[in-house]
Amino acid sequence: MTPESITTLAQQALWVTFLVALPLLGVALVVGLVVSLIQAATQLNEMTLSFVPKVLAMGLAGVLAGPWMLHVMMDFTIRLFQSIPHLLNGG
C-alpha cells in the first residue's frame, strides 16, 4: 500500500462518514433551532422541551434516511473489499 492509496482510502472513509451523519445531524440542528426560537418567544426554559422533540425527529429521520444511509455504507464497504487485491499489489 502506498501512502497515496492510504490517504485516498482515509478521505473516502471520512466522506462516507460525513454523508451518513448528515441527515441526523441536520435534523437535530433544525429541530433544535426551531425549539430554541419557540422557547425564546414563550420564555419556557424547560430542558425536556428541547430534548424530546430532537429525539423524536432524529428517530424519524433515522427511519426515513436509514435505507439510504445503509446503501451508502454498503457501497463503500463493497468497493473497499473489491479494491483489496489492487491495494495489496502496490497500487
Q: What is the pLDDT of residue 34?
A: 93
How long is the chain? 91
Residue 46 amino acid letter: E
**Average confidence (pLDDT) over 1-24:** 92
**Tens-place pLDDT, residues 13-70:** 999 999 999 999 999 999 999 998 998 898 887 877 888 999 999 999 999 999 999 9
For residues 1 and 25, the model is more confident at 25
The model's confidence at residue 91, banded by pLDDT at 50, 70 and 90, is: low
Cell of 11: 478521505
Question: pTM of the prediction?
Answer: 0.80
Strand positions, DSSP E, 37-78: none
Higher pLDDT, 69 or 85: 69
How is 30-51 classified by DSSP, letter by letter? HHHHHHHHHHHHHT---HHHHH
pLDDT at 86: 85
